[in-house]
Amino acid sequence: MSEIKKIHDMLSSKQISCKELTEKYLEQIESANKELNAYVNVTADTALLQAEKVDKKIFEGEEIGLLEGVPMTLKDNLSTKGIETTCCSKILTGYKPIYNATVWDKLESDGAVLLGKTNMDEFAMGSSCETSYFGGATNPFNTKHCAGGSSGGVASAVAGNIAPYGLGSDTGGSIRQPASFCGVVGLKPTYGAVSRYGLIAYASSLDQIGPITKTVEDASIVFDAISDYDTKDSTCQGRKGRKTYDTVNDDIKGMKIGIAREYLEGIRDDVKEAVLNAVKVYESLGAEIIYFDMPALKFALPVYYIIACAEASSNLGRYDGIRYGFKAEHYNGTHDMMCRTRSEGFGEEVKRRILLGTYVLSAGYYDAYYKKAQNLRGTIVKAFDSAFTKCDFVLAPTVPMTAFEMGHAVSDPVETYLTDICTVPVNIAGLPAVSIPCGFNSKGMPIGMQLIGNKFSEATILNAANAYEKAAGENFKETKWGVKL
Amino acid sequence: MVTREDVENIAILSKLFVAEEELDGLTKQMQEIVEFADAINNAPDSGEDFDNINNLSNVFRDDVVVPSYPSEEILKNAPEQAEDHFLVRNHN
């Protein structure tokens, strides 16, 4: 059952007022956030003001939209007019955008109630949320473990019931990986399906905004609300075809599911077992399973890190201490001012990626790294094109393991990069993918799998994901935290 | 092979300071990351260059004049401002 619909019904039938509901969430944030660290900024006043507006409408007998009055959260790299937006970096502390990200403009006009901004790896660079200037978000299934990253705050808030849903961004897995670690649903849409205007850029040819939710139906509802053409993002084409919600409950009998053998190599046994059990569930639902090889996948990880860092080194050039955010206190000359501002303002992982990006773009290395990576990007795109001539979607683990313990990810950069092996090919090829829970390991930590679709086929993967949720709902578990509806 | 000099040079290009005591550790880390990236050298060349993900080119729209943001709003985020401009001091 959709959490959003449940709340909508409660509000419409006046079982609870929007203000009471919002206050419940704010109270639970106050207590749960001490341990989860999911929120970095709680916008109680904005939320209550919006809630009162919705209540007035209901009181006057007007009908409300599906998302109207439903509380939610935004990752802290999505611009919110007049509300501090930091990317969880020291360099953007105090920055209050003067405009909204298009996705927030759309949801705000739909009547969404913004509870606050959520934690993330600094500039979305990380896989555990721990590169955040504010410290990492923890996992509601076990707070000794991280929530994943980079959209760890949204995933932790949704799994911890201190937000019914939220929006994150996914450059190399940043929606799907924390969704997998926290046992919730995360949708990374097709490159170009959702406007990125107002998303603070990390790697522009890879970044996409998408929802993190409790159920697949919720992901479908939110995706339909935000996937629209936007003149402010020239790469944005919007959703193609009908609303995904129209077909999310269709029968999946006869659907062809592809499994690339490479995705099952180097995966922890418990993760592999859970994914193969899900395959059996799909077979019982009448889907056909097709195995094949995709050798191009083995280059995906270095291709991703080269392209992402190259683009990041350029995108992050704008932080110079002049126009917004943090500025170094003492300096001697403008070059010195910029160097000191950037060195004091950026964290270690961000600096590492800027340096690597600058290296692969610099004279003498450009051809060997950046150009070669772009060339291989084309090869990976073609490998997926060929896969989709054989199947309707590709099924794969989301992450090779379950959530790491806090502190584990920060110790070795390369080892941490390796954990992104299953998620990055989707961004390289610009495809949509949804991560859904498919089991638990022996310690009770959630395992996730992803359904990867062809471009603009969100309807297909959400339909198939929902069919699994209905057949194997025991894998969508509640945590002890937060608001109980 | 990434050398200390490489890291110093990239740091200048990146407008970042690397303190003397950080240089060895960072050079080692960069070397490890570059070795990991070197895996692509063994990959076969696809023979054509990738352009962009949805093969978009020249996305046009009508040139409609809309109000811009007032400069005083924009300047509110600046660490220092003076006379409707961003202020950049040479020394501080």
Is A349:A411 a contact under the CB 8 Å cutoff?
A: no
Range 417-456 of A in CB contact (< 8 A) with B: 417, 429-430, 455
Q: Terminus-to-terminus CA distance in chain A, angstroms?
A: 12
Q: Is the pLDDT of residue A350 over 80?
A: yes
Comparing alpha-carbon positions, the chain A residue that sits nearest to B25 is A352
Per-residue model confidence (pLDDT) at position A413: 76
Q: Is the pLDDT of residue A474 over 80?
A: yes
Nearest Cα of chain A lies from the Cα of B56 at a distance, in angstroms, of: 8
Contact across the interface for A306 and B40, Cβ inside 8 Å: yes
From the list A304, A126, A339, the residue with the least C-alpha distance to A203 is A304
Is A319:A364 a contact under the CB 8 Å cutoff?
A: no
Per-residue model confidence (pLDDT) at position A167: 98
What are the tens digits of pLDDT across the range A286-306? Answer: 999 999 999 999 999 999 999
What are the tens digits of pLDDT across the range B51-77? Answer: 888 888 887 888 899 899 999 999 999
CB neighbour list of residue A77: distance below 8 Å, 6 or more residues apart: A85, A87, A120, A123, A124, A169, A199, A200, A202
Per-residue model confidence (pLDDT) at position A166: 98
Nearest Cα of chain B lies from the Cα of A459 at a distance, in angstroms, of: 19
Q: Is the pLDDT of residue A90 over 80?
A: yes
What are the tens digits of pLDDT across the range A446-464? Answer: 999 999 999 999 999 999 9
Helix (H, G, I), strand (E, B) or coil at A307: helix
Q: Chain A contacts of B86, Cβ < 8 Å?
A: 322-323
Q: Where are the domains of chain B?
A: 4-41
Tell me how far CA of residue A23 lies from CA of A43, A116, A443, in angstroms.
12, 13, 34
Whether residue A174 lies in the annotated active site: yes
Per-residue model confidence (pLDDT) at position A470: 98
Contact across the interface for A338 and B15, Cβ inside 8 Å: yes
From the list A451, A382, A438, A434, the residue with the least C-alpha distance to A170 is A434
- Among B30, B32, B40, most A C-beta atoms within 10 A, so best to mutate, is B40
Contact across the interface for B30 and A375, Cβ inside 8 Å: no
Phi then psi dihedrals of residue B91, to 5 deg: -135, 155
What distance in Å separates the CA atoms of residue A125 and residue A172, rounded to the nearest whole number? 9
Q: Is the pLDDT of residue A412 over 90?
A: no
Total CB pairs under 8 A between chain A and B = 159
Q: Is the pLDDT of residue A358 over 90?
A: yes
Contact across the interface for B40 and A340, Cβ inside 8 Å: no
- Average pLDDT in the A144-153 region? 97
A321 touches chain B (CB under 8 A): yes
Torsion angle (degrees, nearest 10) of CA A191, A241, A199, A436: -70
Phi then psi dihedrals of residue A447, to 5 deg: -120, 140
Q: Chain A contacts of B45, Cβ < 8 Å?
A: 372, 375
CB neighbours (10 Å) of residue A253? 10
What distance in Å separates the CA atoms of residue A155 and residue A167, rounded to the nearest whole number? 9
Range 24-63 of A in CB contact (< 8 A) with B: none
B61 touches chain A (CB under 8 A): yes
Domains in chain A and their CATH numbers? 3-294+380-475 (3.90.1300.10)
Which single residue is written with the structure tokens 């200390």? B4
Is A137:A146 a contact under the CB 8 Å cutoff?
A: yes
